[in-house]
Chain A
Amino acid sequence: MSILECRGLSKNYGSIQALKNIDLSLESGRIVGLVGPNGSGKTTLIKLAQHLLTPTAGMITIDGMLPGPQTKAIVSYLPDRDFLPQWMNLDQLTAFYHEFFSDFNPAKSADMLEALGVIGTMPLGKMSKGTREKVQLIFTMSREARVYLLDEPIAGVDPATRDYILRTILTNYSENALVLISTHLITDVEPILDEVVFLQNGTIALHENADALRERTGKSIDGYFREVYRCF
Chain B
Amino acid sequence: MAWKFNDGAPIYLQIVNTLKRNIASGAYPPGSRLPSVRDLALEAGVNPNTMQRALSELERSGLVNSQRTAGRFITEDASALLDLRKSMSEEIVSEFIARLRGIGMSDEQILDTVRDKINSEHKEET
Contacts and interface: CB of A to CB of B under 8 A. Distances in A.
Establish whether A and B are touching in the complex (CB under 8 Å): yes
Interface of A: 29-31, 163, 166-167, 170-171, 173, 190-194, 210-212, 214-215, 218-220, 223
17 contacts: A29-B49, A31-B49, A166-B2, A170-B46, A173-B41, A191-B44, A191-B45, A192-B45, A192-B46, A194-B50, A211-B10, A211-B11, A211-B50, A211-B53, A215-B10, A218-B9, A219-B7
Contacts of B101: none
Contacts of B13: 215
B80 to A, nearest CB: 26
A30 B49 contact: yes
Contacts of A210: 11, 47, 50
A105 B48 CA distance: 22
A220 B8 contact: yes
A166 B38 contact: no
Contacts of B5: 190-191
A165 B68 CA distance: 32
A192 B45 CA distance: 7
Contacts, number: 63
Contacts of A215: 9-10, 13
Interface of B: 1-2, 5, 7-13, 38, 41-42, 44-50, 53
Given A163-B2, A211-B12, A223-B7, A194 B49 contact: yes
B42 A171 contact: yes
Contacts of A212: 10
Given A167-B42, A191-B2, 5 more contacts: A163-B45, A173-B47, A191-B47, A191-B50, A211-B11
A147 to B, nearest CB: 17
B9 to A, nearest CB: 7
Contacts of B50: 191, 194, 210-211
Contact of A170 (B9, B10, B41, B53): B41
Contacts of B47: 31, 170, 173, 191-194, 210
Contacts of A194: 47, 49-50
Given A173-B38, A191-B2, A192-B45, A214 B8 contact: yes
B23 to A, nearest CB: 21
Contact of A191 (B9, B11, B38): B11
Contact of B48 (A173, A218, A220): A173
